[in-house]
Amino acid sequence: MRMIRRWVARILLFFFVSTILAVVIYRFAPVPVTPLMLLRLYEQHKKGETVQLHHHWVALSHMSAHMPVAVIASEDQRFMQHHGFDFREIGNALSDQLDGKRRRGGSTISQQTAKNVFLWPQSSWLRKGFETYFTLLIELIWSKQRIMEVYLNTIEMGHGIYGVQAVADDHFHCQPSQLSRSQCALVAATLPNPLKYNSAHPSPYMLRRQKAILAQMKTIAPFPMATGGNGADSGR
């Protein structure tokens, strides 16, 4: 039993040291690849499709100022106020589920970032536990600007497309700093299901979502674009 306790202690120590170190490193360094990107590559290969991964890191300061406002309006309107968890939205999601309504997510941008960067996409109680842990870590170690920068560089935005640089290039043929307010709202409209919805070819449903997001964006304060971290455009 003493040997088992010693090994458990060593494993736990390694887990905490390695995860904290990873979060500290990504406080400054670009995220080169995520578990979801690797999973999508495997899925493409398994289906016999052309394997493609469009991902290029770009600093928050080189993005359109409308982009963070659009995703806040669409995904997490209390992003600047909460500390990783929006308990009001979590309560609403649980209430809807108990009432038999369509299931909806209550995940914040911080939670989505923690999941995208450090964890696997399939939902489970184990992953939710790790997601809570990593969300607390990034909220403690990163700034809100850094969380937003990592989120906008790693979020899936289309088939083989990850991040603002890739979607601006592939769908709008411009630099991320040149994305218009309406284009940013259109990109944000795809985020619930970027493999189903295409910002380059929006459906009537997407155009309705875009209109709603544009209206919500008027109520969101401008986002502070300085990160205080590494602003270099690097990473692949």
Range of the domain at 182: 2-217
CB neighbourhood size of 119 (10 A)? 18
pLDDT (0 to 100) of residue 178: 97
234 in a domain, yes or no? Answer: no
132 in a domain, yes or no? Answer: yes
Provide the pairing of β-strand 156-158 with 161-162: antiparallel
Q: Which two tokens stand for residue 198?
A: 């295409």
70 in a domain, yes or no? Answer: yes
* Side-chain half-sphere exposure of 196, counting CA atoms within 13 A: 6
Which tens digit of pLDDT belongs to each residue from 127-180?
A: 999 999 999 999 999 999 999 999 999 999 999 999 999 999 999 999 999 999
How many angstroms separate the Cα of 73 from the Cα of each of 46, 90, 125, 185? 36, 17, 28, 9
222 in a domain, yes or no? Answer: no
Report, as an integer, the average pLDDT of 1-23: 94
Taking CA 195 as the corner, what is the angle to CA 23 and CA 77, rounded to the nearest 5 degrees? 55
| CATH number, residue 39 | 1.10.3810.10
pLDDT over 90 at 122, yes or no: no
49 in a domain, yes or no? Answer: yes
40 in a domain, yes or no? Answer: yes
Contact status, residue 83 vs residue 70, Cβ threshold 8 Å: no
Contact status, residue 78 vs residue 107, Cβ threshold 8 Å: no
Q: What is the mean pLDDT of the chain?
A: 90
229 in a domain, yes or no? Answer: no
56 in a domain, yes or no? Answer: yes
Domain tally, the chain: 1
- E strands, the chain, are 156-158, 161-162
